[in-house]
Structure 1
Amino acid sequence: MEGPRLMFGWFKRSGQKPEVYEGEGIFLKCPDCDNYHRSPDIPSFDAAIRLACETVGATTQKSYSEYNCLSSDGRWDMLPEEGIFCFTNSDGRRCFADFSLVGSWIEATHSWMWGWNLPDTHITPANRKASDLARAKGEAEGWPCLTTPSLLLNADEAWHLTDLAAFLAGYPMVYRAKVNEKAWAYFAIDQLAWET
Structure 2
Amino acid sequence: MNEQDTHPTGHRTGAYTGEGIWSYCPFREQARELSLAPALAAQLQRAEDFCRDRLPDLFEHTGLSAPGGTWQVFPDRQLFKLTTASGRSWYARYALLASWRAESHSWLWSWAFPPAWNTPAELLSVAHRMRLAGAREGWDLLTEPSLLANEDEAWRLGALAAQSAGMPLVYCAGVGGGMTHVYAIDTPSWMS
Task: Please give the range of the TM-score, normalised by the shorter of the 2 chains.
Answer: 0.7 to 0.9
**TM-score normalised by structure 2 residue count:** 0.85
Equivalent residue of 1:95, what SS?
strand
Tell me which residue corresponds to 2:137.
141
Superposed displacement of residue 34, structure 1: 5.2
For structure 2, list consecutive stretches of 5 or more residues without a partner in the other structure: 1-5
Q: 1:175 aligned to 2:171?
A: yes
Equivalent residue of 2:64, what SS?
coil
Aligned length: 184
Superposed displacement of residue 52, structure 1: 2.7
Relative to structure 2, which stretch is displaced further, 48-57 or 121-130? 48-57
Equivalent residue of 1:81, what SS?
helix
For structure 1, list consecutive stretches of 5 or more residues without a partner in the other structure: 1-7, 12-16
Deviations 1:138-167 (A, max 9, x none): 112111010000111111111111010001
1:128 to 124, 128, 131: 124
- Residues 1-196 of structure 1: pairs in structure 2 closer than 5 A: 10=8, 18-29=13-24, 35-55=30-50, 58-120=53-115, 121-195=117-191
Which residue identity does 2:168 align to in structure 1?
P
Query: 2:60 touches 2:66 (CA, 8 Å); kept in 1?
Result: no
**TM-score normalised by structure 1 residue count:** 0.83
Deviations 1:86-145 (A, max 9, x none): 000112121001111110111221111001111353421111122112112211211101
Stretches (4+) displaced over 6 A: none
Superposed displacement of residue 30, structure 1: 5.1
Tell me which residue corresponds to 2:3.
none
Equivalent residue of 1:109, what SS?
coil
Matches of 2:47 and 2:118 in 1, distance apart? 26
- RMSD between superposed Cα atoms in Å: 2.5
Matches of 2:16 and 2:64 in 1, distance apart? 35
Deviations 1:148-187 (A, max 9, x none): 0011111111111101000111110011111213211111
